[in-house]
Chains A and B, each alone.
Chain A
Amino acid sequence: MLKMGPIIETQNLSKTYGHFGALHGLNIAVPEGSVFALMGASGAGKTTAIKILLNLLSATKGRAQVCGVESHAITPEVLAQIGYVSENQTLPPRLRVHDFFEYLRPCYARWDRTLEDELREQLRLPPERKIGELSHGMRLKMALACALPFRPRLLVLDEPLSGLDALARDEIIDGFLQQAGKTTILVSSHELDEVERFATHVAFLHEGRLLFQGSVAALAEHARPLLVAAGRHGDERASLRAIFVALVRAARQRAA
């Protein structure tokens, strides 16, 4: 169930690294309560956009608001409402799993110890293992388990399925699906087929530029002429992958 107003809104957001433009005037609005999939090929600018939203990077131009606050002025109070999971997230490697949970608990006023125990059991996290000794998949599960017990208003997931085996993907996606509706989820991924299972809204990024944003229903409407032009006439339920490919081809043709 969608609530009123966007929880994330960007205006003309741009980021350059030297001469390389990673983002070009991004305008997106993430409705509160949605599962918003930020999609695109590797290097499209998804991670850059997310890092700007969380004030991990500063924008070169434009502005972004998260939970009603400018992202560059994000406060600990706002961060206490945001859960974040990233494939590159560096958790303290010397801490044991249970020590890290102990370290996090006092940081969040709304930490739910029961939910924490459920998540740890569900994701089968070994309490005595050092985080540095965990596999990539286990570390992602660990990050997810740390992002949920305080019942975040916004859950930001940056390529959460990257490099995971099928079993781990299913476990993680099950975790997302349980949260869908309870919280707003912003998920970036290039795994189009997997994201299709739970996204309510999508935004396609290509080479730092926004190709489309809107609900999944609006996307189908928007993509129909492109699919027809691509010879997919009569494909009532085209996949995100097919739509994305059609959008990118159309963008390339326009650029040419």
Chain B
Amino acid sequence: MVALVTAIQMAFEWVGYFQDTPSAAVLLRPLILAWYMGIAALAAAVVLQDPVPGADQDWLIRPLKRKDMVLAKLAFVALAVCVPMFALNLAHAMALGFPFALSLGLILFKELYVFACFILPVMALASATRNMTEVIIVAALLVVVYALSVTVGAYFMGADWCPTCDSGISWLQHVLQHAEILFGAAVILFLQYYRRRTEVARALAVFGALALVFVQLPWNAAFATQGWLTGSSGAATAITLERGPQVPGSEVTDNAARDKDHGARHAATLLLQGHPDQALEYWRRRGAPAEAPAAVELPMRAAGVSSDELLLVDRLEVELFADNDRLLYRRANADVPLMLLAAQPGIATDESGFTNLSVDVPGSVYRKLGSRTARLQMDFSLTLMQAVAQYKMAARNGLLRAPDIGICSSEYDQDSIAVRCSKMGRSLFCYSATLFAPDGRHNPEIVRCIPDYRPYLPPLTNIVNFFGIDLPVRDPYGLAHYAVDSSELASSYILVKIYGERDHFKRTLAVSPFRLSAPQDR
């Protein structure tokens, strides 16, 4: 079994080396599954050599110190799983050209992380079972408990069931969950090997699955923690949010009909992707087509953001009040554009730099309000990003190595230049690339920004982060024309910019009373 798990790890690392090729990507999915299952099966099998529940096992009447036994099992799994994984990961990093010292530290941290957050919980679960069949049944039961809890939470609380989900600070919630899992695993192992309290251990496992769902960090506390960790620079003091001069307008959109086009498959996909609130919202709207929401269009802009800065919206909480100040509707994490700054690339603005923010108001609220006036309050949680480094690389077959970006290469492929990077350690989540001609002409800057402010939490399976940008140089339909096209690539260069967080802060924008709809709209 040890040989089989090592072989799976070797295959996984080998295919992972060619991760950016299409065939490797196809192979990686089953290999990741095999990786998880192989390691879990080995860890469980080691524990089940001497099952704890029951009263007939020979080891129970032998003069063995429980501490020695637990430590022996932990040491065996560490030697059988983590040591080969460490060696393979190190070889992988060396083959990709990463420095030895950097790789060593990061990989060691990753193996500890895998051991604490995956292997130890599996061993704890196995210690509360008699055999592999029970392990599978108990694990399936825990997954069902977890999934049901998530669905119930999302049903009753909407997006509030997980305030930090899908945001750049979700890593804080993950750390909390990992701490819960680690603590729970340690308690279960203690209960089983020192007290042999299987019923209590199993109840604790179920309670732990529920706690993973319902113990959620409040947004304000998590955001403040992130601000403290980043270290507020005060750079955002001058930034203000401004509302456009025109009155907000509304438009009833038939999202139900739009959702029907996506179908139930879309809802199932949302559920599987960990967005139960959105999946349930789809089913609600499908069940009540009259609930089609009204979209309130609100022109706004951010002032005080310089040209080398980006402003990210981490969370938007919208509150709609009636004219008597009664709260009609509140929603967090409404779909808003990621970046607010008018001057930044990819955001459509008018000549004054205003962009339209669209806020959905449920059909029932819209109808209840009628032609009466409403007041809107929007609480923004924002992050100011600033370009912290920039690098040049040849547009064609270029190679770039730098500690804060990793290893990047550029390759021309008919209509665009593919910039592909790999990096160990903390992943880059905000970067841009621009194609420049030697005389200074350039194509539009392409920005990739998916907020993720984690310091360094490695994925359990991968040691290297892959990311990249495609820079178009030719439109096959001839509609778009680029300042720098494919004929100039030999002398052109790419400017890669890396953005880092400067400040996390909040702003509130109040929209004075306005009418959502005229009386004749009703």
Q: List residues of chain A with CB under 8 Å of any chain B CB.
A: 51, 54, 56-57, 76-77, 79-80, 82, 84, 86, 88-92, 104, 107-108, 143
B55: which of A57, A76, A77, A82 is its contact (CB, 8 Å)?
Answer: A57
Report yes or no: B58 in contact with A92, Cβ–Cβ below 8 A.
yes
CA distance A77 to B64 in the complex (A): 9
Q: Beyond A92-B49, A92-B50, list 12 extra A-B contacts (CB 8 Å).
A: A54-B60, A54-B61, A56-B56, A76-B63, A77-B63, A79-B62, A79-B63, A80-B63, A86-B56, A88-B56, A107-B62, A108-B63
Residues of B within 8 A of A104 (CB): 62
Answer whether residue B57 sits at the interface, using C-beta atoms and an 8 A cutoff. Answer: yes
Considering the complex, give the chain A residue whose CB is closest to the CB of B65.
Answer: A76
Q: What is the distance, in angstroms, from B412's C-beta to the closest C-beta of chain A?
A: 59
Given contacts A88-B56, A90-B57, A92-B58, contact A107 B63 (CB under 8 A): yes
Q: What is the distance, in angstroms, from B135's C-beta to the closest C-beta of chain A?
A: 18
- The contact string, 1 if C-beta is below 8 Å from chain A, for chain B 53-90, is 01111101111110000000000000000000000000
Report yes or no: A76 in contact with B57, Cβ–Cβ below 8 A.
no
Number of residue pairs spanning A and B whose beta carbons lie under 8 angstroms apart: 36
Report yes or no: A82 in contact with B61, Cβ–Cβ below 8 A.
yes
The prevalent SS among residues of A at the interface is mixed
Residues of A within 8 A of B49 (CB): 92
CA distance A80 to B62 in the complex (A): 7
Considering the complex, give the chain A residue whose CB is closest to the CB of B59.
Answer: A92
A90: which of B56, B62, B65 is its contact (CB, 8 Å)?
Answer: B56
CA distance A84 to B65 in the complex (A): 18
Residues of A within 8 A of B62 (CB): 79, 104, 107
Residues of A within 8 A of B56 (CB): 56, 86, 88-90
Q: What is the distance, in angstroms, from A36's C-beta to the closest C-beta of chain B?
A: 18
Residues of B within 8 A of A57 (CB): 55
Report yes or no: B64 in contact with A76, Cβ–Cβ below 8 A.
yes
Number of interface residues of B (CB under 8 A): 13
Q: What is the distance, in angstroms, from A78's C-beta to the closest C-beta of chain B?
A: 8
CA distance A88 to B55 in the complex (A): 9
Q: What is the distance, in angstroms, from B492's C-beta to the closest C-beta of chain A?
A: 66
Residues of A within 8 A of B60 (CB): 54, 56
Residues of B within 8 A of A90 (CB): 54, 56-58
Report yes or no: B65 in contact with A79, Cβ–Cβ below 8 A.
no
CA distance A29 to B57 in the complex (A): 26
Considering the complex, give the chain B residue whose CB is closest to the CB of A76.
Answer: B63
Considering the complex, give the chain A residue whose CB is closest to the CB of B54.
Answer: A90
Residues of B within 8 A of A91 (CB): 58
Residues of A within 8 A of B57 (CB): 90
CA distance A215 to B56 in the complex (A): 30
In this complex, the member of B62, B64, B65 whose beta carbon has the largest number of chain A beta carbons within 10 angstroms is B62
Closest 6 A/B residue pairs (Cβ)? A76-B63, A80-B63, A56-B55, A79-B63, A84-B61, A88-B56
Residues of A within 8 A of B61 (CB): 54, 56, 79, 82, 84
Residues of B within 8 A of A79 (CB): 61-63
CA distance A80 to B64 in the complex (A): 9
CA distance A51 to B57 in the complex (A): 12
CA distance A56 to B61 in the complex (A): 8
Q: What is the distance, in angstroms, from B482's C-beta to the closest C-beta of chain A?
A: 68
CA distance A108 to B56 in the complex (A): 20
A-B contact pairs, 8 of them (CB 8 A): A56-B55, A76-B64, A79-B63, A82-B61, A88-B56, A90-B54, A90-B58, A107-B63
